Amino acid sequence: MEKEVHEQYEYARRRLRQKKILYFHFVLFLLGSLFLFIANRFFGFGANTDQNWCIWGITIWFFLFILHFIKVYITDRFMNKKWEREQIDRLVALQQKRISQLESKINEDTDNKI
């Protein structure tokens, strides 16, 4: 029972760390976007280009943040240790079934030859 409690604690600690890093990424995204916008508008960085480069940078960064959000709240939420164990058990059962089928086929072949 103690092992199960320890696993639950480790899972909770790992999820908390993931969420903490995601929140940090969000704050960094907001501050970085604000910096890019101010640098473009008020300090004239990239003024010699026709395109608004800071919007492209912010859009790409936002896309990366969305991917990070999906990983933390969708992918890792459903594909956790329990899911891994279930998949491993399912694959091991399929392998055992296949091995038993092959053994029975070998036994039939040896019986037919004798």
Integer Cα distance of 33 and 55 in angstroms:
9
Which amino acid is located at 86 in the chain? Answer: E
Position 10 scores a pLDDT of 86
pLDDT mean for each 10 residues of the chain (114 residues):
81 90 96 91 74 86 95 83 84 91 86 72
Position 30 scores a pLDDT of 96
